[in-house]
Structure 1
């Protein structure tokens, strides 16, 4: 069997090694937290049954009476959000801010009794979501996750090149040689799993990156556009709808994140430059009217109502639906009850529609249990690839060395490496910058260290 061109093969192997070294810990974390969030519909009722379920009654309290009960129980708190019951046996939920903490408070909508509370950012799903998106360390975590996802793309592409059969077929290519021992069986598990899961993993990485702070924001600004006329007939601030989302809770859909927040008309002329707040909210309309608007406009159950926090703010009725075709985002003037914006699926552009569909597939929501099981399989394949890759490295590492795949002296690294760097720098800015840094370190330090073995090809 003819050998592949050793120079480029070794380059691909070397960069696959570096990418795996950085990406593996993140992929394990993302897979584990992803599994937790994936099964949120099953886990939440199991873990928080006493908070989430109630015995149905004949008559429920209206939203304003429910809010009054919360205000009585939390007199020093600010009510941030209201989530009406999604069905007759479900509790109502209020999100309140008290002493700097955000709490989920659950209330029986029939009897008005408070069922309990939980820290909105420290319950299981909030922690899993925050770890998954920002490692629970804010902007730095977001950038690290984005960097790991971008390097993950490089890991998949280089892995496919290393996997390429080159005249072989069957065992070791399409299925693992489980009868073998030692490093060969781990190599087969790693390569075969990576091959069958490559397409799904690329989908997971790219659909997840639409939420990131650098690549995702640029992607949204380029591709996610609404007609300017949609926002011309209302006073609007410089604050974007993404301000309603945080690492623990998704309020508005991705398609709406870079749209401007409207301003309640009565106070629009008093706004400071840039949409700064000039006073506390003082809604002139009741919360129940927001529920009535949602009902009249056929917003799917499961929506939230975010209350205005300033005198210029608006009520926002939003549902981030499992089926994006049922998405709805309404902004309502807090003094007059005028619906300033009502954005639905039909207003999304084609890219926004495809992205929203991708996000729901990513989260396992679009096709119910089947979607969950497919995404679970992807997460398990990620875990197997990460573990098998680490075991392979551990078995081949030299005594006292890192075990970096060798870089031959005849490698024409300039042309190929710079083309790869340039392409990645355009597609994934953070990856491009980090790739240049690592390449310089590799060239200046690692490739000149003594003691790295001229190992055999990883395909053996």
Structure 2
């Protein structure tokens, strides 16, 4: 039974690796790319980030916004990113089709230039990493499934390394044994950090991430505070009486599940709203320092949302988890209504706040990046040496899969797989499909044998 257990793990390890290796390589390479997106963007987009417009005339932030609206017809400002010097201010402008542009204003609030948000380096890396730049539920599930099976590969690899004693010193060893040893050694070393990286990435995954978010929202005491889920409303009595009956354009609420802090909203314009310059004075009075983002109200009762986030996905905007804050300002008076800080979060929300920047590599500066880079490169090394190990034993014209095992399953194997299936529900669903497939193959083979 012990030998059968080893062979079963080996066989499942082999087939899982065979199917998901291309995805794992893609996810790892794009993860490395995203790890250094701030460094890349600071160089590639330096003219946008640090350059100056064609005029030195000093404008207010509101005048700069109006100029941007005139220059980019059909687009309206939905978000403002106010960064520390020497970064320029970044406007997120959205049209009715949901397309986004980033427009940059210099220290005179003059327009420096613009980008199509979809094709910035960070968004290309992020969208490829999370959904292969294709998107859609099936693709998102496929990416998450690859991450789940990667956990199985790492843990089953540990089991086989211990059982086979592959790391034991030998007087003489074959090429295959050396490849197998390197594959097992590096895989064992990186198992814990790699599992941490995978699990800190799951909060924004399609299936498990949705479950985690649902639990966090349904249980404010351990997850997302009620105030974050249901932002306050502006005092509509602040609208001048003479214009209160005028019809005000409305829009959909912002997407509360925006990936990595990215939210999209339809444009909304209201002449009764306070100017951004006035709002920024109120923000300063409230002791909110740069960097921060300002998200526009989505309708006549909405509020200005001012936030500092540890996982914004915007170059120059990320802050320490302890400094994370979301504040709500009345769109008519500019008064601070309420705010939510890190201390108000439940344990799940705090996990997101620490885990996501750890996953992205900016929780504790360059050491975080270097650790993540080392683990990712080592993981690619493990994949490469796994392929070399297979090729060193592969016979020409054959798949050379590990030997078949008896149909009887050990209790240990069953408990291990069920546990992983519970921890990672999408993995559990895929296991059921694998079992059904194997049973169908078994039935077909028995039918053919009888025939």
Which bin holds the TM-score, normalised by the shorter protein?
A: 0.7 to 0.9
- Give the Å deviation of 1:240: 11
**1:315, CA displacement in angstroms?**
2.1
Distance 1:242 1:184 in 2: 56
Q: 1:448 Cα deviation (Å)?
A: 8.3
Mean alpha-carbon deviation: is it higher for 218-227 or for 194-203? Answer: 218-227
Change (3 A) 1:427 1:448: same
Q: Equivalent of 1:308, from 297, 301, 304? A: 297
Query: 8 Å contact 1:210–1:216 — kept in the other structure?
Result: yes
The Cα of 1:229 is off from its aligned counterpart by 6.7
Kindly indicate whether the alpha-carbon contact (under 8 Å) linking 2:252 and 2:298 is maintained by their aligned counterparts in 1. Answer: no
TM-score (structure 2 length as normaliser)? 0.81
Partner residue, 1:362: 359
Q: How many residues align?
A: 412
**Once the 2 structures are TM-superposed, how far is the Cα of residue 59 of structure 1 from its aligned partner?**
9.3
Residues in 2 aligned to 1:59 and 1:302: alpha-carbon distance in whole angstroms: 24
Is it true that 1:141 corresponds to 2:152 in the alignment?
A: no
Which of 423, 426, 437 aligns to 2:422? It is 426
Larger proportion of helix: 2
TM-score by length of 1: 0.79
Selected match of 1:412 from 393, 408, 411: 408
1:319 and 2:315 equivalent? no
State the alpha-carbon separation in 1 of the partners of residues 253 and 30 from structure 2.
Answer: 26
Report the CA distance shift for 1:333/1:414 in structure 2 as closer, same or farther (over 3 A).
farther
Local SS of the residue matching 1:445? helix
Cα distance in 2 for partners of 1:302, 1:21 equals 45
DSSP 3-state at the match of 1:436: helix
Residue 54 (1) aligns with residue 66 (2): no
Task: Pick the aligned partner of 1:120 from 111, 117, 131.
Answer: 117
Alpha-carbon separation, structure 2, partners of 1:15 and 1:343: 47
Q: Counterpart of 2:220?
A: 226
1:24 matched to 2:21? The reply is yes
Structure 1, 339-348 or 373-382: larger mean CA deviation: 339-348
Query: Could you give the per-residue CA deviations for residues 256-310 of structure 1, whole angstroms, max 9, x where no partner exists?
Result: xxxxx9xxxxxxxxxxxxxxx9x94425211223323332333342321121233
Distance 1:122 1:114 in 2: 20
Q: Quick check: 1:12–1:162 contact (8 Å CA) kept in 2? A: yes
Q: Report SS of the residue matched to 1:129.
A: helix
**DSSP-derived class of the 2:400 partner:** coil
Relative to structure 1, the CA distance from residue 187 to residue 117 in structure 2 (aligned partners, 3 Å threshold; closer, same or farther) is same
2:127 is equivalent to residue 130 of structure 1:
yes
* SS at 2:206 equivalent: coil
Partner Cα separation in structure 2 for residue 14 and residue 63 of structure 1: 63
**Residue 106 of structure 2, aligned match among 105, 108, 112:** 108
Alignment CA distance shift 1:229-1:421 (3 Å): closer
Whole-angstrom distance in 2 between the partners of 1:54 and 1:12: 57
| 1:19–1:341 Cα change, 3 Å | farther
Residue 63 of structure 1: how far off its partner (Å): 2.1
Question: After the TM superposition, which residues 47-446 of structure 1 pair with which residues of structure 2 at under 5 Å, given as runs?
Answer: 47-54=44-51, 61-87=59-85, 89-98=86-95, 100=97, 101-110=99-108, 112-136=109-133, 137-164=135-162, 171=169, 182-223=175-216, 225-226=219-220, 230=227, 234=232, 243-244=255-256, 246-247=258-259, 250-251=261-262, 280-282=268-270, 284-321=273-310, 322-409=319-406, 411-413=407-409, 415=411, 418-445=414-441
CA contact (8 A) 2:37 2:121 kept: no
Structure 1: where are the runs of 5+ without partners? 253-260, 262-276, 451-460
- The alignment partner of 1:408 has SS state of coil
| Deviation of 1:441 (Å) | 2.0
Change (3 A) 1:80 1:164: same
Structure 2 CA distance for aligned equivalents of residues 163 and 402 of structure 1: 23
SS of the aligned residue for 1:79 comes to strand
Displacement of 1:67 after TM fit? 0.8
Q: Which runs of 5+ in 2 are unaligned?
A: 235-250, 311-318, 447-451
Preserved CA contact (<8 Å) 1:425 1:433: yes
Instruction: Give, in whole Å, the separation in 1 of the partners of 2:152 and 2:226.
Output: 41
C-alpha separation in 2, matches of 1:434 and 1:391: 27
CA distance in 1, matches of 2:403, 2:81: 58
| CA shift digits 1:362-391 (9 cap, x unpaired) | 111111111110010011011111222223
Residue aligning to 1:272: none
Displacement of 1:85 in angstroms is: 3.4
